[in-house]
């Protein structure tokens, strides 16, 4: 470390971490979260308290049941027009406005994000007691409840799960996610993502998808959904009719997927159609993406507002009878196309059942109400949506199982069984792209430089590389670790290049889920590869990074930065384990 620090002469983190003790599974204050649904959201560090298991079994709700249609019809018949309209609205929960949203607009439920589970439990129980019609609550759970809840179990991303090749693990992940959600009083998980990620430059799906093969997507999504249903959790297929071919982020713009309908059908609609035909999944979430083959014309028109997409294809052709829910109405992909007032009524006319996260609950409510009163939306059409919403509420055990208990919550969140399942997935997700003979394993006689690329963009979570670098440093006395920022102007990169020849191996790691590392990082990687010291590149994120540096000879990927994957990757580089995972996307090797 002194050798590298002297060469750098910079206020740069460079540390040899020999003798570092094993951290608990979820160390406090090192899980970076990013709330990508809200404009202007900021990075933050969320404390993840590690709760040792108490030896008790985790809470598990009963499996989803057949709906009580008598309750559904009697509840629907007793509702006023305003109460029916409110059922179509699912705003973001906030302590500041949740009670007024319920009292003034009769909302049907809320979505939670980025708060501790005990606060969610308190909110769900309080609001259920105040509601005339039982509420339904949701969380974005693509990587487990811990992806959004600060003391929930975090799983590797979907692409890592598919890389394991084990559908039994997908089933178990569904059960674990269901247990933790239902223990908080939450009935809906927004997942799994069943987009077919065919665009390597896709800036928003990537490792959130199971891969680029519709058949693999179907198998893993079905296993996950069946596991979740067995433990009482409603699930959501997203993002219809497919977000995997986009090269833009619908949080920031309105992407256009200008492919012919044959390609859309063959690659992107297929998982939705086949899974719906099997009767799995309870909701379908729409994409704020324009598909000209479905909505031809000169006006950008997202699928969220598209009658051809929602009614003609999803309802009539595919026969989907569940709930259609929008992606967040706070995203620019929808806001660029219509105001909240107009978007609410247009989406319902197109076939929408639930409007998620409207920037203004009042505007969404008034948009639908005025359309009904003007005769644009018939009461029969409104009743159809409300009936579907009440049906999924009944499937989840409402109104009988409306509240949850703190005792069940405390014995469920971060249970040892849950952590074990997540870690099994993480250990099984290390994939080998290619390796040059003689480059590995790393040995104790070698001097090893670990260059850790930082990231300024993530989704759900990004762990620091401490578990990986710590494991190497404990095994290899000659290990130094240095971080490379995203926006280096050349000073740090030049210093690393100057130090590189004094090492025997260079290991470069990235935890970015973006399809590319930043330009300064890619430039450094290329320069290192052009040198005389063998370079091993390890992506703890996107598998597409190697496309930026095709001359890389030694490539591994874990498809997430989960700590279990980090520890296993270190064992692989040390020759103490094998990279057994499959590569879930075709990179044309």
251 catalytically annotated: yes
Residue of 25, 106, 251, 562 with catalytic role: 251
d(C-alpha 31, C-alpha 16), whole Å: 22
Give Dmax (Cα) for the chain. Answer: 80
249 catalytically annotated: no
d(C-alpha 262, C-alpha 413), whole Å: 45
Phi, psi of 403 (to 5 degrees): -115, 165
- Residue 142's alpha-carbon distances to 62, 157, 424, in angstroms, are 22, 7, 17
Partners of residue 90 on adjacent β-strands: 356
- What's the number of CA atoms in the CB half-sphere (13 Å) around residue 388? 20
Helix (H) / strand (E) element for 361: namely helix 361-373
Say whether 44 sits in a helix, a strand or coil. strand
Kindly report the three-state secondary structure assignment for every residue of 440-489.
CCCCCCCEEEEEEECCCCCCCCECCCHHHHHHHHHHCCEEEEEEECCCCC
Contact in structure between 328 and 37 (CB atoms under 8 Å): yes
Say whether 106 sits in a helix, a strand or coil. coil
Contact in structure between 114 and 35 (CB atoms under 8 Å): yes
Q: Which residue has the tokens 């308290």?
A: 49
Helix (H) / strand (E) element for 381: namely helix 379-395
Residue of 327, 408, 480, 517 with catalytic role: 327
Contact in structure between 337 and 324 (CB atoms under 8 Å): no
d(C-alpha 317, C-alpha 446), whole Å: 62
- What residues are labeled active site? 251, 327
């Amino acid at each position: 470390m002194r050798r590298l620090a002297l060469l750098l002469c910079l206020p740069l983190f460079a540390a040899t971490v020999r003798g570092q003790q094993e951290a608990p599974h979820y160390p406090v204050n090192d899980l970076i979260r990013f709330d990508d649904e809200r404009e202007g959201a900021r990075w933050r560090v969320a404390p993840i308290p590690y709760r040792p298991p108490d030896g008790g079994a985790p809470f598990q709700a009963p499996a989803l049941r057949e709906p009580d249609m008598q309750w559904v019809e009697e509840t629907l018949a007793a509702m006023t027009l305003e109460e029916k309209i409110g059922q179509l609205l699912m705003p973001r929960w906030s302590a500041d406005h949740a009670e007024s949203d319920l009292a003034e607009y009769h909302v049907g439920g809320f979505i939670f994000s980025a708060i501790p589970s005990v606060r969610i439990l308190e909110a769900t129980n309080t609001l259920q007691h105040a509601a005339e019609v039982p509420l339904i609550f949701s969380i974005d759970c693509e990587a487990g409840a811990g992806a959004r809840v600060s003391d929930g179990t975090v799983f590797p991303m979907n692409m890592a799960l598919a890389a394991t090749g084990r559908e039994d693990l997908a089933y178990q992940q569904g059960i674990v996610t269901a247990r933790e959600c239902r223990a908080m009083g939450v009935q809906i998980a927004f997942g799994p993502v069943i987009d077919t990620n065919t665009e390597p430059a896709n800036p928003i799906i990537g490792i959130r998808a199971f891969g680029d093969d519709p058949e693999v997507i179907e198998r893993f999504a079905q296993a996950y959904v069946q596991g979740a249903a067995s433990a009482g959790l409603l699930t959501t297929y997203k993002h219809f009719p497919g977000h995997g071919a986009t090269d833009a982020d619908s949080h920031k713009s309105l992407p256009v997927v200008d492919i012919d309908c044959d390609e859309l059908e063959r690659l992107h609609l297929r998982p939705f159609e086949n899974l719906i035909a099997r009767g799995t999944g309870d909701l379908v979430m729409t994409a704020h993406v324009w598909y000209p083959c479905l909505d031809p014309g000169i006006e950008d028109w997202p699928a969220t507002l598209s009658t051809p997409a929602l009614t003609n294809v999803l309802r009539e052709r595919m026969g989907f009878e569940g709930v259609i829910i929008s992606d967040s109405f706070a995203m620019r992909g929808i806001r660029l196309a219509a105001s909240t007032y107009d978007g609410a009524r247009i989406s319902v006319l197109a076939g929408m059942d639930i409007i998620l996260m409207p920037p203004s609950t009042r505007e969404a409510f008034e948009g639908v109400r005025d359309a009904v009163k003007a005769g644009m939306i018939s009461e029969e059409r409104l009743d159809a949506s409300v009936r579907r919403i009440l049906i999924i509420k009944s499937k989840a055990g409402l109104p009988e199982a409306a509240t949850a208990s703190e005792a069940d919550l405390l014995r469920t969140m971060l249970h040892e069984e849950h952590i074990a399942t997540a870690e099994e997935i993480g250990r099984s997700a290390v994939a080998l792209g290619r390796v040059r003979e003689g480059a590995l394993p790393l040995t104790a006689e070698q001097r090893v430089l670990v260059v850790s690329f930082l990231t300024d963009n993530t989704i759900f979570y990004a762990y620091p590389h401490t578990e990986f670098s710590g494991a190497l440093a404990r095994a290899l006395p000659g290990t130094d670790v240095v971080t490379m920022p995203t926006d280096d102007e050349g000073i740090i990169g030049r210093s690393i290049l100057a130090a590189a020849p004094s090492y025997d191996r260079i290991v470069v790691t990235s935890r970015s889920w973006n399809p590319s590392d930043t330009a300064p990082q890619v430039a450094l990687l290329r320069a290192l590869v052009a040198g005389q010291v063998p370079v091993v590149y390890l992506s703890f994120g996107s598998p597409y990074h190697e496309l930026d540096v095709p001359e890389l000879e030694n490539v591994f990927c874990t498809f997430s930065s989960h700590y279990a994957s980090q520890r296993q990757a270190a064992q692989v580089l040390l020759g103490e384990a094998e990279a057994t995972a499959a590569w879930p996307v075709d990179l044309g090797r």
